[in-house]
Amino acid sequence: MSQLQSYLSGTWVSGTGPGTALVNPMTDDTLATADSEGLDLGAALEHARTKGGSALRSMTFAERGAALKALSGAIHEHREALIDIGIANAGNTRGDAKFDIDGATGTLAAYAHFAKSLPEGRGFLSDGDTIQLSRSPHFQGQHVCVPRHGVAVHINAFNFPAWGMMEKAACALLAGMPILEKPGTPTAMMAERIAHIIVESGILPEGSFSFLVGGPADLLDHVSAQDCVAFTGSSGTAKLLRAHHAFVERGARLNAEADSLNAAVLGPDVNDDCDAFDMFLREMSREMTQKAGQKCTAVRRILVPEGKLEEVGEALVDALARVRVGDPAESETRMGPLTNAAQLKSVREGLEKLQPVTKVLCGGDTSPFDRGPFQMPTLLQAETGEAAPVHADEVFGPVATLVPYDGSVNHAAQLVSSGGGGLLATLYSDDRKFSTELALALAPWSGRVYMGSSKVAEHGMGPGLVLPSMTHGGPGRAGGGEELGGVRGLQFYMQRTALQGFRTLINTAFAAPPAP
Ligand code: NAP
């Protein structure tokens, strides 16, 4: 058993407390402990600001992009060892662990590519065109974005220890901000291994990478005005963070990615003989069971036209029965256990809340296994579309509820919106009018709308895939934040400043260089 280490102020250190045990969910063996007690987090943030910030800002976008590419390669070299850690410490199947690790290296590589579109030889971005501000053309304005002079503090959820960490890191480092990464404690082994790879690679300048394992301790108390905190986790923790004086009084920036009752809508035109229906079945089954449903983008509510409820329920139960559940270390396994006993307890409590308004079509609160925190794929059916608990509680496991709707755009949009705002809404239809109207009706409530149809049945990448070129985040209960989206993802880490002055100065020093 090892004690995981933090990398702070350029040194590997361990907390002084007993720490939290990180377990193998299949055996309940403790694999490592993680602890942050007694660590000087104020000094660590100051080291990052002074050493790391100035070092990164002295690099061009192209140099930072090259560093991201090198990091992607360095992590990829350790892919097999990282997969083993995901299997042991998170109950990941091999496929789940690859999804996480390849997501991390793929996002780093994508941002290395985006760096090529950024201006050479300057450390800031011009935002938009120059604007004539007075009657005379002499006085003009230009918006620019410069890197903030603080630390990007990244607080991540337990479910994507690799991808969650590196997607935030890619944006901040390319923008020119040093990072401090804090993974979710239960699965921090993979993140810690990646931290060692990053430090040993020597790719990043001193101070630009810090890493904290164990609880957050007094981290936020040391966050100051130029710092940015990007948080991913539950809406309960997001609520706590929002009230912290680092944001309320000192004006540090906070981006929150929280939980989400993601919905999918099956259009009334989709019958069981069309490709869109096969796509729906395939993707719903995968979204429910990949990472044992512990994905922020996993589908929780599946809206089906009233008259098709029985037929769709049967088809989806059949598809879920084909997902082989078992020991994640076995290559045939397609879904492993939940990450730990605490997650199983939380899922079972969620099922209890749904029980009064739903019936169980498959799965439920029993498991055929005598060890491991297994939750079998569980499909519920709501009595009515308006069953309130279905739209109120995220059950963070392989659980979704079929929800009847009357087949209209209005009813579908009204039900989806009762989830209070989500990361992702999915629709399946070959009817262009229905798809267009529903996508626009869902958009105010959704960070992303994925439109499945027979035309893209062979091309869609699945709604759960978070692409670096598209934004990730959602309104309302999903946290109200936004990440990624190509170069847009840098803006959180930069200050947009309106510069006003003499035309020649504005045009020569600050306006966007002409396109090559
Ligand atoms: P969580 O309990 O909210 O924890 C998230 C992170 O916050 C962890 O690193 C945790 O540290 C830290 N934390 C807890 N209390 C804190 C405090 N008072 N101050 C500062 N940091 C604090 O969430 P989780 O159980 O890890 O993750 C599951 C949830 O995340 C689900 O609800 C899921 O929907 C959501 N999620 C959302 C997205 C998205 O992109 N929107 C992505 C993935 C997951 P410790 O682990 O040390 O307690």
Q: Which atom of ligand 1 is nearest to the CA of 259?
A: 34
| Ligand 1 in reach of 233 Cβ (< 6 A) | yes
Residue 192: the pLDDT is 98
Residue 332: the pLDDT is 94
Which class is 2-258+479-510 in CATH? Answer: alpha beta
Which class is 263-470 in CATH? Answer: alpha beta
Q: What is the mean pLDDT of residues 119-139?
A: 91
Instruction: Classify residue 426 by its DSSP letter.
Output: E
Domain(s) labelled CATH 3.40.309.10 in the chain stretch across 263-470
Tens-digit pLDDT profile for residues 343-375: 999 999 999 999 999 999 999 998 999 899 999
CA of 381 to the centre of ligand 1 (A): 29
Q: Which amino acids are annotated catalytic?
A: 257, 296
Q: Give the three-class secondary structure for 304.
A: strand
Tens-digit pLDDT profile for residues 217-235: 999 999 999 999 999 999 9
| pLDDT above 90 (res 393) | no
Tens-digit pLDDT profile for residues 397-426: 999 999 999 999 999 999 999 999 999 999
| pLDDT above 80 (res 1) | no
Tens-digit pLDDT profile for residues 427-480: 999 999 999 999 999 999 999 999 999 999 988 789 999 999 999 999 999 999
Structure tokens at 228: 């940015």
Q: What is the mean pLDDT of residues 200-210?
A: 98
Q: What is the mean pLDDT of residues 86-103?
A: 96
Probe ligand 1: pick from 37, 237, 482, max atoms within 8 Å of CB?
237
| pLDDT above 80 (res 515) | no
Query: What is the distance between the alpha carbons of residues 441 and 445, in angstroms, rounded to a whole number?
Result: 8
By CB neighbour count within 10 A (0-12 exposed, 13-18 middle, 19+ buried), where does 7 fall? buried
Query: What is the distance between the alpha carbons of residues 110 and 78, in angstroms, rounded to a whole number?
Result: 19
Q: pTM for the full model?
A: 0.95
Q: Which atom of ligand 1 is nearest to the CA of 472?
A: 40
CA of 208 to the centre of ligand 1 (A): 23
Mean pLDDT, the chain, integer: 96
| Ligand 1 in reach of 505 Cβ (< 6 A) | no
Query: Is 189 within 8 Å of 4 (Cβ atoms)?
Result: yes
Count of Cβ atoms closer than 10 Å to residue 137 Cβ: 9
| pLDDT above 70 (res 516) | no
| Longest CA pairwise span in the chain (Å) | 80
| CA 50 centroid distance within chain | 29
Domain(s) labelled CATH 3.40.605.10 in the chain stretch across 2-258+479-510
